[in-house]
Chain A
Amino acid sequence: MTMKNVKNVYPPKFPEKKFGRVHYRQVDHEVKNIFEIGGVTILPSSEAWQKFAWTKKFFGEKPKEGYFIWVKNQLDFPLTACITIASPKISQDLRNLLVIEKNIKARANVICDAKEKFLCGKHLARGKLILKEGVFLEYNHIHKWGEKDNVQPDYEFTLEKGARLIYNYRNLFPPENLEFKTTIHSGENTSSNLNLIIMGGRAAKASRVAGAPVLGRVASKTKVKDTVFLEGKNSQTVVRLRLVGRKKSQIEAISQIFATSAGKGHLDCQGLLVDKTAKISLIPQLVCQNKKAQITHEASIGKISEEELTYLRMRGLTEKEAIDLIVSGFLKKV
């Protein structure tokens, strides 16, 4: 659902070029390739720290690994970065920085994944994304993890005057432990749309009889915290959070909007429990410090409707196919 008083951000049209080339690729701790393009500086964070003194205030301390992308000219293709865990027991500690200069429209696809299911890796990523005046950014962030990984992304977006952001985060293959944190600082006349899709747990096996007891520990623990600060006049935000609790999953989510100026914001948080062993806790929080601000929220957690499930199974779908269809319908609403 969209709120009437909050404008949706429509992305400007890019020529349809798909992922194609990867501009920054890191496997384990090693930077595999950097594809240089005109108007964009791409470096490992540690090099950027040395080369550009101004980055120090964003990085804070000297980074070990991660990417630095500085977009200075308008591009007609998306930037792509891939960070992969390919060996067992790797512990990545990334500091990423993406800076986009004034009035540039950009799209970035960032994929973080594990090559195999049981690598027991750790992916710690702290990122800062600076959208300067009048920038438009569509940031597609895709996660795909193994069943034993520990993943902690912590991204902070700063939107300067008139900047627009669409942040799409999809995590359909959750790790064992996910701590997802996003913070948005919205300046004057900015707008941000956050579409966050997070799955917990494993896909249920089709043969499992509904109601059969499930023993064993929790397969995935997920903590989500997204915070939007409406700091500038006329800043707007819409946050859509979709959580799917599958077999043996625990999801705790806090979705917040802090309004310190006359901005508009809306939280739309929905959870869907697919399995009896799943647990979702969902807290939408609104903090208003400006009497002209308009912030609203809606939140709900539901289970898969037995009626829908029975109907789909009657029409020839297996239980698993029927669940998948209902879940994809639930996620499509984003």
Chain B
Amino acid sequence: MKQKKVICAMSGGIDSSVAAALLKKAGFDVIGVFIKLTDLPRFKESGMRAKKVAKILGIPLLVLDLRREFKERVINLFLKEYKLGLTPNPCVACNKEIKFGFLLEKALSLDTDFIATGHYARIKKRFVNSKQIRYSLMTAKDKEKDQSYFLWKLNQKQLKHILFPIGDYSKTQVRIISRKFKLPTFEIPESQEVCFIQGTINDFLKKRLKEKPGKIITKEEKTVGEHRGLWFYTIGQRKGINLPDGPYYVLDKDLKKNLLIVTKNEKDLYEKQLLAGHVNWISGQEPKFPLKIKAKIRYRHEPASAVITRSLKSKVSLRFAQSQRAITPGQSVVFYKGQEVSGGGVISESY
């Protein structure tokens, strides 16, 4: 049998290094690819580490410069959405556009069978009937590390060519495997912040979007203070509002009037319904509505029971069984059926 070729995206971190090691072990012809996304010093270090890992595993490492594409499609979108008063998920955009967009395209043009990443998620192949195959995106075995939330934009065509080698391993097992392969990466602390920002997100926004002060008002339209620009705040936020006799929570933003609406009562943050746009169904087929699912409205959110009812053409309306705290426009809402990700969308409003 011909050895299958796979391109493995390597960031120099432990997860993608172990992914490459497992691919090698499973008998694939592995080519490592390091994607250069920005000029930050952090990327230089990661590149060096990826090179080291590739050398240990005895696989070639290519460097793919996607700085321009990343800037155009991820960073600019990120800033644009912040400007619109939203709280975006840049990782969702990066997965769709860069890793499973440009990289996959590149891989297929190089006559490879698969691309692999170090995401904690699983893909299951199922036969719908004797001819038709369906790929399902599943949550990872390690519930703590599960990253299926960021992958809801994938489609059948992409899933067909993707491997997630570490999806069925826990983080602890990944560390053990890393040691087994003598990879140099297991001492690095976990990276969880936005990769293209050095320092805090507020500093980054301050530099790029500048400040745009406005009034802070309460629900009852009483002015209580002044804000520095709506993009520095996100729904549900408590810290950093800097108001006396707090604590206050960010309840809403009025973009037209440049108003930040706050509340003292945390219960005001709880809402039952939301409207989501840019909806993607991973199976490629729209299900029948109403559809009972579990929905996650941010990465660290326990999936909650909800029902989706069709509303407008590319939008769906979703009603939770119980009110959820801080449903934030711009964030992704991801639909789960058991362990399977059925799809997702971008929250446009809550009510």
Contact = CB atoms under 8 A, between A and B. Distances in A.
Interface of A: 209, 211, 306-307, 310-311, 313-319
A310 B138 contact: no
Interface stretch (B9-17, B104-112, B161-169): B161-169
B26 A310 contact: yes
B27 A307 contact: yes
Interface of B: 22-23, 25-27, 116, 122-125, 136, 138, 141, 163-165, 167-170, 172-173, 176
Nearest to A210: B173
Contacts of A209: 170, 172-173
A319 B27 contact: no
Contacts of A306: 25
B168 A313 contact: yes
19 contacts: A209-B170, A209-B172, A209-B173, A211-B176, A306-B25, A307-B26, A307-B27, A310-B26, A313-B168, A314-B22, A314-B163, A314-B165, A314-B167, A315-B125, A316-B122, A316-B124, A316-B125, A316-B168, A318-B168
Given A310-B22, A316-B167, A316-B168, 15 more contacts: A306-B25, A307-B25, A307-B27, A310-B165, A311-B26, A311-B27, A313-B168, A313-B169, A314-B22, A314-B26, A314-B116, A314-B163, A314-B165, A315-B163, A319-B168
A272 to B, nearest CB: 19
Nearest to B168: A313
B242 to A, nearest CB: 47
A209 B173 CA distance: 8
A318 B170 CA distance: 12
A323 to B, nearest CB: 12
A144 B135 CA distance: 35
Identify which of B125, B141, B168 gathers the most chain A CB atoms within 10 Å of its CB: B168
Contacts of A315: 123, 125, 163
A77 B125 CA distance: 40
Contacts, number: 43
Contacts of B25: 306-307, 310
A209 B168 CA distance: 11
A322 to B, nearest CB: 8
B123 A316 contact: yes
Identify which of A211, A311, A315, A316 gathers the most chain B CB atoms within 10 Å of its CB: A316
B337 to A, nearest CB: 16
A318 to B, nearest CB: 6
A310 B166 CA distance: 9
B26 A318 contact: no
A306 B25 CA distance: 8
Contact of A317 (B26, B168, B170, B172): B168
A205 to B, nearest CB: 13
B156 to A, nearest CB: 14
A128 B179 CA distance: 58
Nearest to B177: A310
Contacts of B173: 209
A316 B124 CA distance: 5
A187 B303 CA distance: 69
Contacts of A317: 124, 168
A209 B123 CA distance: 21
A208 to B, nearest CB: 11
Nearest to A209: B173
Nearest to A318: B168
Contacts of A314: 22-23, 26, 116, 163-165, 167-168
Contacts of B138: 316
A309 B122 CA distance: 15
Contacts of A318: 141, 168
Contacts of A307: 25-27
A313 B141 CA distance: 11
Nearest to A310: B26
A330 B130 CA distance: 24
A189 B82 CA distance: 87
A317 B123 CA distance: 8
B29 to A, nearest CB: 13
Identify which of B25, B26, B163 gathers the most chain A CB atoms within 10 Å of its CB: B26
A209 B169 CA distance: 9
B173 to A, nearest CB: 6
